[in-house]
Structure formats: C-alpha cells, structure tokens
Amino acid sequence: MNKQLNKTSKFLSYILRHQPKAIGITLDSDGWVDIVHLIAQANQHGEPLTRELIEQVVKTSDKKRFTISDDGIKIRAAQGHSTQQVKIKYVEKVPPKFLYHGTAMRFIDSIKKQGLIAGDRHYVHLSIDEQTANTVGKRHGKPIVLKLKALQMHQQGFKFYLADNGVWLTDAVPNTFLIFD
Ligand code: HQG
C-alpha cells in the first residue's frame, strides 16, 4: 500500500472505529455512515478524502478492514470498534477447535492472571491461524501467539462471532482456555 493509501486507511480506522465525532459524523448502530457525508465532513476538517481513495483503500486493505454496502452508498469498519455509537449485531458462530491471539511478550504475565480482556475495544480479537496472530502481536512489541481452546469454550456457553473480514470476536477469554507453552 502506498503512503497516501496507508494514511487514508489510518484516518478511516480512527473515524470509523474510534472517533467519528472528530469530524462531526455519527455512525448508525451497525457502524455505517453515508460515504458522501463522510467525504464532505472529512474535507471540511482538512482531510483530502475522495471516493476514489476510499475505494482503493477498501480494495487493497490486507485485512479487509472496511466494508462498502452492496448498494455502494455506505461504509463501515468490519471490526475493532471502541466508539459507543456502534453495537454491531455480529453473527454468532461455532468456532473451530482452536483460535489464536497475537500479543506482546510484555503482556503475558498479566494475561496469565486475568485471561484476555477487550480493553478499549468491544471484543477480544482472535485469528484463524498463527501467522495472522503473529502479525497482530507485532503491533505491540516482541510478538507471542497464544492458542486458545475455542470450541471447548463455546461448548461451555461462551459466544463467538465472525466479523465481515474473518476476524473472530468474543467478550473475554478466561485464562483456563489459553495454552501457554
Ligand atoms: C492485550 C488490528 C494485558 C492484547 C488487529 C492486545 C486486530 C492484555 C492488547 C485488531 C490482556 C489490546 C485488534 C490482559 C489482552 N493484560 N494485556 N489481561 N488481555 N491484552 O490493539 O487484539 O490492524 O486493542 O493481547 O488485526 O492487538 O487495526 O487489540 O495486545 O484484529 O486493522 O491488549 O486490530 O487490526 O490491543 O488488535 P488492541 P489487538 P488493525
């Protein structure tokens, strides 16, 4: 991704996941906003956003961070929200036997004690494979990948959801379901 697209992607993540108010927009409870309105408000706040840039970011995003509605009118972030405006009703799914969580070594002691917690975001984010989890972990420092007994957790009543982009979500993961080796 080139520099301009990367910058636009970060801007969209910030607005569509965390601070829509920063450019005076409101997301609906499913996270959607009208693209024409988003562009107008972004431009008014000095961000050189265009429909073309948005489409390029959506197309080239390695993690499929953003979804454009089928009618082409709206956009939302697939997951990762912290803003209270959004409460996406994710589809509940039976997870595979294992899922993975990438984190940094420096968090391990705390995770061993508390399990995984969502922090500022609405959910704990889980990956389908170790490689993806490793990439997620690297964002925070020296990465470590934790394996978790997802199916067993589900069988004990914990809910799992699958976002538009293949990221698995759950409220929290008690440490007993984590494999530290
Ligand atoms: C850690 C990215 C101490 C957790 C990714 C993580 C993902 C604890 C950090 C999405 C803890 C939160 C989310 C505990 C959890 N004690 N630390 N008990 N429980 N943590 O960024 O999962 O590139 O909010 O391990 O691909 O890293 O932005 O979550 O390290 O899908 O599109 O607290 O964001 O997508 O960090 O990443 P984050 P995450 P984008």
Per-residue pLDDT of the chain (181 residues; tens, 9 = 90+): 689 999 999 999 999 999 999 999 999 999 999 999 999 999 999 999 999 999 999 999 988 999 999 999 999 999 999 999 999 989 899 999 999 999 999 999 999 999 999 999 999 999 999 999 999 999 999 999 999 999 999 999 999 999 989 999 999 999 999 998 7
Radius of gyration of the chain (CA): 17
Which numbered atom of ligand 1 lies nearest the CA of 124?
22
Residue with tokens 């294992």: 98
Nearest residue by C-alpha to atom 27 in ligand 1: 136
Residue 125 has φ and ψ, to the nearest 5°, of -100, 130
Q: Model pTM?
A: 0.92
Name the residue of 15, 57, 139, 173 to mutate for ligand 1: max ligand atoms within 8 A of Cβ: 139
How many helices and strands, by DSSP H and E, does the chain display? 6, 10
Other CB atoms within a 10 A radius of the CB of residue 175 amount to 14
Tell me how many degrees the CA angle 93-133-16 measures, rounded to the nearest 5.
Answer: 70
With a 6 Å cutoff on the Cβ, whether 14 touches ligand 1 is no
Residue with tokens 């964002």: 139
Per-residue confidence (pLDDT) for residue 1, from 0 to 100: 66
Strand partners, 162: 91, 168
* Cβ of 114 below 6 Å from ligand 1: yes
Q: What are phi and psi of 75, to 5 degrees?
A: -135, 150
Element (H, E) at 43: helix 35-44
Element (H, E) at 27: none
Q: Residue 47 in 3-state DSSP?
A: coil
pLDDT at position 181, please? 77
Distance 115 CA to ligand 1 centre (A): 13
For 149: left if phi > 0, alpha if psi spans -120 to 50, otherwise beta; the answer is beta
* Distance between CA atoms of residues 172 and 140, nearest Å: 19
- Which pLDDT belongs to residue 180? 87
- Please report, as a single letter, which amino acid is at residue 147: K
Atom 15 (ligand 1) nearest CA: 116
Q: Which domains does the chain have, with CATH numbers?
A: 3-77 (1.10.10.970), 99-179 (3.20.170.30)
Ligand 1 centre from 63 Cα, in Å?
15
Q: In ligand 1, which atom is closest to the CA atom of 125? A: 22
